[in-house]
Structures are given as C-alpha cells and as structure tokens.
Amino acid sequence: MVCFGDTRVIAGIKGRFAQPDIESPGEGFVVPNVTLPSLCNSKYRPGMPSDSAVAMSCRLAAVLSKVVDRTQLCVRPGKTAWCLYVDAVCLNDDGNVWDALLLATSAALKSAILPATLYSAETDVVAVDRDGKGTMLKLNYLPVSVTLSVFDGTTIPDPTEAEERIEEGSVTCCVDQKGTVRAVWSSGHLPDELISGTLKYAVTRADILCSILQKVTGD
C-alpha cells in the first residue's frame, strides 16, 4: 500500500496457470489492471470502469511490458505458463493516483515470489509445490513515476485533487532506479528551460522514491 498524503493505493499480484500464446510458447503473461472504485472519489460512478481507469491500465501495461521478462514465467513451454494478474486499486483519490499506482505496482513486483511447481506426468497436471522454494521475480528495471501539475508557466510536484482540478496540464515522468528516463507524457504549455528543469527534478525525486522502495522491500 502506498500513501501520498491522503491518496491511498494498494497493489497486489496473483498468479494463475494459463496456456501460452501459440506464437510465443516460451512466454507467460502479465495482465495489469487499474481499478478506481467509486469509494475512492465521488467523481467515479459505480458500473463500467471510468475512462481514466482504462487509460491508466493501458499506460501501466505499456510501462510493465518492458519491466518483466516474460520468458521467466514459462513453466512448461507451449503447455503451461504463469499469468500474473497485477491489480492496482485506489482506495482514496486525493490527486496524483498514477504515481502511487506505479510505486505500489513496482513494490509488489519486486517482492513477488513465483512458487515452485510440480508436474505430474501421469495426470498431466501442473500444481504449486507448497514445500518447494519459490523464485523471486526478475525485473529488468524498477519503474517509478513523478507527476507535476503545470500552472501558468510553473510546475508543482505531486498535485492534490484540488490542484489537479484547476491545472492547465501535467507532466508525468517515469524513471528507473538508475535514473534513466523511460517514459514522459506531458500536456500544458511549458517553455523549454522549464521542461528540462522539470525532467531533472523528476529524476532526483525518483531517486528518493526508489530508495524508499528498496528500503521497504528489503534490499
């Protein structure tokens, strides 16, 4: 669970066996999903997932597609592979949900353990070996995100909901633990110097978030 002020987000990973794709028999699946239930904010209505939840799921899928090497999720090539359902649920939306979501998801992925499996040739069934030792999930990099709101030529990091409602635009910068920028999307007009300044700030703040993440997940 990640709390940024009043914004609370929880992420969890559940593994299920699935048949791999015919075109990639040695790869498993990572299925991220973002839920913004109506309990987190009155602007979300119950029923169909809101547009922002769908867009965030899509963005999360794009970020995670390069983070997890899916060949390690293969159990029996062509027959069985792990399908990891990465669910991120917002419990309270007080702005800047995306940053909290990505941090929670990264923490969950970093501490995820793939259970050992047993295969029985007679029954042709793969089962989880509860006494066996699981393997930690190997990540290519650890993504962390920093969002800033754009107002009238200045930027404010980590906006609250009140700030988000009146913002002109926002800059979201996804950085990995080494400080390499992995994704940036921004709206709102920004002069050039402010863009580079904002990105540099995002990298320094991401470093702080990464160190907290690594402290919590025990490194």
Note whether 155 and 171 are within 8 A (CB).
yes
Give dist(CA 26, CA 40) in Å, integer. 39
Binder among 3, 25, 37, 52 for another protein (CB under 8 A): 52
Please choose, out of 73-81, 111-119, 128-136, 188-196, the segment that lies near another protein by the rule CB under 8 A: 188-196
Residue closer to another protein, measured from CB, 192 or 219: 192
Based on the shown chain and the rule CB under 8 A, indicate whether residue 31 belongs to the binding site for another protein.
Answer: no
Question: Taking the complex as a whole, how short is the minimal distance between the CB of residue 140 and another protein, in angstroms?
Answer: 11
123-182: contacts with another protein (CB under 8 A)? 168-169, 180-182
Binding-site size for another protein (CB under 8 A) equals: 29
Distance of alpha carbon 60 from alpha carbon 121, whole angstroms: 38
Q: What are phi and psi of 10, to 5 degrees?
A: -130, 140
What is the C-alpha separation between 88 and 136, in angstroms, rounded?
A: 20
Angle between helices 97-110 and 192-216 (to 10 degrees): 40
92 strand-pairing partners: 8
Name which of residues 189 to 218 contact another protein (CB under 8 A). Answer: 189-192, 195-196, 199-200, 203
Closer CB to another protein, 17 or 141, in the complex = 141
Residue carrying the six token digits 């060949």: 71
What residues from 107 to 126 belong to the interface with another protein (CB under 8 A)?
Answer: none
Subset of residues 54 to 83 that bind another protein, contact rule: CB under 8 A: 54-55, 57-59, 61-62
CB of 130 to another protein, least distance (A): 36
Rank residues 183 and 212 by Cβ distance to another protein and give the closer one. Answer: 183
CB-side exposure of 59: number of CA atoms within 13 Å?
A: 23
Whole-angstrom distance, CA of residue 76 vs CA of residue 25: 9
Interface residues with another protein (CB under 8 A) are 51-52, 54-55, 57-59, 61-62, 168-169, 180-192, 195-196, 199-200, 203
